[in-house]
Amino acid sequence: MYSYAVSVTGSWLGSTKGIGFGNAGDGGMGGAGGNAIARIQGHEVTGSAATDSVTFSLRATSGEGGQGGGGGTGALSSRIKTYTGCCDTRTTDEVDTTGTAPGAAGADGAAGHAIAMVVATTVDLGAGDDLLSFDLLATGVGSNIMAVRDSQLHGGEGWDTLTLGTGAAGEARALVNVRDGLLVLGAGTNTITGWEGFVGTSAADRFTDGVGSQAYTGRGGADLFVFFRGHAGNDAIRDFEAGDVIQLHGFGTRFDSFEEILAATQDVGGSAVIETAAHSTISLFGVTKASLTAEMFGF
Ligand SMILES: [Ca+2]
Ligand SMILES: [Ca+2]
């Protein structure tokens, strides 16, 4: 027996028209990716009178949003059977209409957020040549936040080094201000005192020098080193390279041209040493006076 999807009458005999409808299911929406939060808050680290080494290592990787489901495919078919005569003589003519109707794909889920953050933490490393490092990594498709904020970081006596990342790609940049005792790393502000060595991130960091002798390692990125008149010390940039810039502020007509910088620069022991005042220098390790260009300086 045949089933008749479309009734036909004599006037439709021989028609090849067929109409079919298929309703496809739409895909479901993908689930949201998981959030990842690595956070240290309200911690206190007190160093000894000897050398201390402290590293805050926080890693967060958020989940991707789930893929939206594909729409289901609706199938359709209709058929017209043709007859000759009146109903009792079936021919072999059959016209089938078949097809598919794909449903719409569902939307992908939202990506999760990754946060690696040190908050309201106090570090005081006391005497000795101490090391404090922040190894923050937040990765994912959604927003990534790496930050130290509302913290007090004290190096104490000795030659103390503050390392603000690992140098790996994707780090949040650091704004170091020795002059005002402030650090911005990612987002938010921190108080810093008693640090002599600074190691930056892979991003374009900014270091504003203060009184006393400091040494800066900018690492990757186009780093900016700012020296105010009266920086009063023998400062060093350990990895000054193309793209980095030294800015001299407040020196007036003594330093407002590249020619004046060159006139105050000598090669000493493998470094280009700029004498900014009596007993005040900026040493560029591994750099020769001859390699300096005007683009490396701002006023
Ligand atoms: Ca110590
Ligand atoms: Ca850098």
In the reported structure, the alpha carbon of residue 96 is separated from the centroid of ligand 2 by a whole-number distance in angstroms of: 70
Between 87 and 8, the higher pLDDT residue: 87
Q: Specify whether the CB–CB gap between 281 and 234 falls below 8 A.
A: yes
Q: Which ligand approaches the C-alpha of residue 156 most closely? A: 1
First to last CA, the chain: 96
Q: Which ligand approaches the C-alpha of residue 52 most closely? A: 1
In the reported structure, the alpha carbon of residue 207 is separated from the centroid of ligand 2 by a whole-number distance in angstroms of: 10
Number of Cβ within a 10 Å radius of residue 223: 26
At 1, is the pLDDT very low, low, confident or very high (cuts 50, 70, 90)? very low
- pLDDT of 11 above 50: no
- The residues near 253 (Cβ < 8 Å, ≥ 6 apart) are none
- The residues near 104 (Cβ < 8 Å, ≥ 6 apart) are 26, 27, 71
Conformational region of residue 91, where left means phi above 0, alpha means psi within -120 to 50, and beta covers everything else: beta
Query: How far apart are alpha carbons 200 and 165 in whole angstroms?
Result: 6
Query: How far apart are alpha carbons 214 and 282 in whole angstroms?
Result: 10
In the reported structure, the alpha carbon of residue 50 is separated from the centroid of ligand 1 by a whole-number distance in angstroms of: 5
Tens of pLDDT, residues 109-119:
888 889 999 99
Q: Which residues surround ligand 1, an ion (CB under 5 A)?
A: 47, 52, 125-126, 128, 130
Q: Which ligand approaches the C-alpha of residue 168 most closely? A: 2
∠ Cα 47 49 54 (to 5°): 30
pTM above 0.85, yes or no: no
Q: Which ligand approaches the C-alpha of residue 155 most closely? A: 1
* pLDDT given for residue 187 in this prediction: 83
In the reported structure, the alpha carbon of residue 154 is separated from the centroid of ligand 1 by a whole-number distance in angstroms of: 10
- pLDDT of 62 above 90: no
Tens of pLDDT, residues 234-262:
999 999 999 999 999 999 999 999 999 99
In the reported structure, the alpha carbon of residue 27 is separated from the centroid of ligand 2 by a whole-number distance in angstroms of: 46
Query: How far apart are alpha carbons 238 and 199 in whole angstroms?
Result: 9
Q: What's the whole-number mean pLDDT along residues 136-149?
A: 90
In the reported structure, the alpha carbon of residue 157 is separated from the centroid of ligand 1 by a whole-number distance in angstroms of: 8
Tens of pLDDT, residues 208-219:
999 999 999 999
In the reported structure, the alpha carbon of residue 176 is separated from the centroid of ligand 2 by a whole-number distance in angstroms of: 11
Around 256, how many Cα atoms within 13 Å sit in the side-chain half-sphere? 5
In the reported structure, the alpha carbon of residue 28 is separated from the centroid of ligand 1 by a whole-number distance in angstroms of: 58
